[in-house]
Amino acid sequence: MNTTDQRQMELTLPMVPDIEIAAARAAANLARELGMSPERIDEMTHAIIEACINAREHGCCDDNRIYLRFVGTSEGNGSRIEVWVTDRGSGFDPEEARSRRAAPGTAHKRGRGLQLIEAHMDEVDISTSKDGGTTIHMVKYEKKS
Amino acid sequence: MTEELKVSVDRKSNGAVLYTKGYINNVGGEEIANRAYELMDDGVRILLLNLRETKIVNSIGISILIEIIEKMMDQGGKIAFCCLTPVIHKTFQIMGLANYAAIFDSEDAAVKELRLNN
Which amino acid belongs to residue B55? Answer: K
Question: Are B59 and A112 in contact (CB < 8 Å)?
Answer: yes
Q: For B21-45, how does the pLDDT look when each residue is reduced to its tens digit (9 = 90+)?
A: 999 999 999 999 999 999 999 999 9
Which candidate, A40, A109, A32, places its Cα nearest to that of B86? A40
Choices 3.40.50.300, 3.40.1440.10, 3.30.750.24, 3.30.420.40: CATH for B1-80: 3.30.750.24
Q: What pLDDT is stored for residue A1 in this prediction?
A: 45
Q: Taking Cα atoms as reference points, which of A19, A80, A9, A76 lies closest to residue A44?
A: A80
Residue B74 contacts A where some CB pair is shorter than 8 Å? no
A110 to chain B: which residues are within 8 Å by CB? 59-60, 63
Alpha carbon of B89 to those of A46, A76, B1, B22: distances in Å?
12, 31, 26, 16
The CB density around residue A104, as the number of other CB atoms within 10 Å, is 12
Task: With residue A127 as reference, give the H or E element that holds it.
Answer: strand A123-129
pLDDT reported for residue A58: 76
- HSE of B57, CA atoms in CB hemisphere, 13 A: 29
On whether the CB atoms of residues A115 and A101 are closer than 8 A, the answer is yes
Q: Say which of A39, A49, A116 has its CB closest to residue B94.
A: A116
Which residues 31-70 of B are in CB contact (within 8 Å) with A?
55-60, 62-63, 66-67, 69-70
Chain B CB contacts of A21 under 8 Å are: 1, 3, 23, 56
The Cα of B118 is separated from the nearest Cα of chain A by a number of Å equal to: 31
Residues of B whose CB is below 8 A from A17: 1-2, 27
B27–A49 CB contact, under 8 Å: no
Written out in words, the top-level CATH class of the domain with range A5-143 is alpha beta
Of the partner residues B87, B91, B95, the one whose CB lies closest to the CB of residue A107: B95
HEC string for A34-91: CCCCHHHHHHHHHHHHHHHHHHHHHCCCCCCEEEEEEEEEEECCEEEEEEEEEECCCC
Residue B105's identity, in one-letter code, is: D
Confidence of residue B69 (pLDDT cuts 50, 70, 90): very high
A108 vs B62: CA distance, rounded Å? 10
The four Cα atoms B108, B109, B115, B118 give a dihedral, to 10 degrees, of: 0
Q: Which helix (H) or strand (E) holds B10?
A: strand B6-12
| Those residues with Cβ within 8 angstroms of residue B35's Cβ, 6 or more apart along the chain or in another chain | B7, B9, B18
Torsion of CA A94, A100, A106, A110, to 10 degrees: -80
- pLDDT category at A84 given cuts 50, 70, 90 is very high
Smallest Cβ distance to B66: which of A53, A104, A107?
A107
- Specify the pLDDT at position A90: 79
User: What is the amino acid identity at position B66?
Assistant: I
Structure confidence by residue, pLDDT tens digits, A14-67 = 999 899 999 999 999 999 999 999 999 999 999 999 999 999 887 667 688 999
Interface test with A, best of B57, B66, B94, B97 (most A CBs within 10 A): B94
| pLDDT for position A101 | 59
* For helices B86-95 and B59-74, angle between their N-to-C axes, nearest 10 degrees: 60
Predicted model pTM: 0.90
| Tens of pLDDT, residues A91-136 | 777 777 766 655 545 555 566 899 999 999 999 999 988 778 899 9
pLDDT at B76: 96
What pLDDT is recorded for position A131? 76
Mean pLDDT over B80-84 rounds to 98
Q: Is the pLDDT of residue B46 over 60?
A: yes
pLDDT at B64 over 90: yes
Interval B60-70 mean pLDDT: 94
The residue of chain A nearest to residue B91, with distances taken between CA atoms, is: A116
pLDDT at residue A3, as a whole number: 72
pLDDT of residue A33: 92
- In this predicted structure, what is the pLDDT of residue A94? 77
Residue ranges per domain, chain A?
5-143
* % chain B with pLDDT above 70: 97
Query: Is it the case that residue B113 has pLDDT exceeding 80?
Result: yes
Bridge-partner residues for B78, per DSSP?
A: B46
Supply the ipTM of this predicted assembly: 0.90
**Helix/strand/coil for A119:** helix
Residue B6 has pLDDT above 70, yes or no: yes
